[in-house]
Homo-oligomer: A and B are copies of this chain.
Amino acid sequence: MVCRNRSFAQHKSDYLFYEIAQKKEHLQKQEPRAKLINLGIGDTTEPLCLPVTAGLVKQAEALGTRGGYRGYPSSFGDKKLRDTIAQKLYQGNVCADDIFISDGAKCDVGRLQHLFGPDTTIAIQDPSYPVYEHTSYLSGKAGRVDRLQMDPENNFFPKLTAADVIYICSPNNPTGVAYNREQLKQLVDFCKKNGSILIFDAAYFSYIRGDDFPRSIYEIEGAQEVAIEINSFSKVAGFTGIRVGWSVVPQTLCFDDGSSVQADWKKIVTTFFNGVSHLSQAAAMAALSDEGLQCAKEQCDYYLNNCRLLRDFFLERKFRVFGGVHAPYLWIDLDGKKSWEIFDYLLQKAHIITTPGVGFGAAGEGYLRISGFCSRLDVTSAIQRMSATSL
């Protein structure tokens, strides 16, 4: 019989959000009439804006005509979409040929693992989005993952170590902070000096307000030689259910033998992937129209305002609160209490779903992540309910 993949046998923990979903289901069975409020998973709640639905309808109708029908999408994405991203989101800092359209940042995090052999050493932030670690483990790099400690006093910027591949997320999930220009320069210089490849997750770039915080790693000089950037429309335009993102793999990025990282990435994309639905790409094009970008900004502002209200509540209750200003997440210091304890408490007492900080790594113990992705009504109800607890 076939042997089980050792990487799976060694990997015990369930995927965090799956675990939360199980707990949620359990409560719903216990209390079928409970009206749950979800401040947990970072999932958008506001409807698609008009330009996007109009773009979708137009594309759907076109696919029903002989002239407008299209079969397989390009594995790398429509040229027009790649051009538009280069122009509108990178202001020419990035070449369109270096942009690869995907079905979402998470899927690209998974596919990027193929770039690196089993001997590759990995460094991830602690806490961080669990998928960096899980995809590393399940790709046979279990013993090679180093966790970077982060200091709350230093804006949660990590203490860097010289791994082959370093994952950094800014604006950061889960701590909700964004790294400034100087910090990102330090990061790029470190990678350059140590020959590391930086995987920079910029999926929350559209929540940055003001000019002090770069929205892309390619705003930093030298990044083209060290960094891959993963990105997504999910949080920008409410596209979590549309599934479209992109990665930037610069042509200038090389392995130790001088071979091109982009050439291997193209092989991965054409072998393990088959392109993004024409509908999703049409939605992305619509989101990048002037009208679409305006709507997207308004939606991001809406979620940031949710964060502001929640932030005020926790500050009033004397919690130490991080984030929520340049990112849609709050990171609450539970003042010595355990993450799952407060998670369970809020679920049972207030029917509110949050995310236990420890789910993002051992250093997240004692924190709770609160997501601003919900309706305003949910935010005000959640604050009312939490006010009635002894939180």
Contacts and interface: CB of A to CB of B under 8 A. Distances in A.
Interface string A254-298: 111101000010011011111111111000000000000000000
Contacts of A5: 114-117, 120, 264
- Identical copies in the complex: 2
Interface string A32-54: 00000000010111111110110
Interface string A321-333: 0000000000000
Contact of A264 (B4, B110, B243): B4
Contacts of A140: 117-118, 140
Interface string A346-382: 0000000000000000000000000001000000000
A110 B61 CA distance: 31
A135 B271 contact: yes
Query: Which size bracket describes the interface of A in this complex?
Result: 35 or more
Interface in A3-52: 3-9, 11, 14-15, 17-18, 41, 43-50, 52
A3 B277 contact: no
Contacts of A276: 243
19 contacts: A2-B164, A2-B196, A3-B117, A4-B257, A5-B117, A5-B264, A7-B117, A8-B264, A45-B71, A47-B66, A53-B64, A72-B241, A73-B243, A106-B272, A106-B274, A110-B273, A111-B272, A242-B277, A242-B279
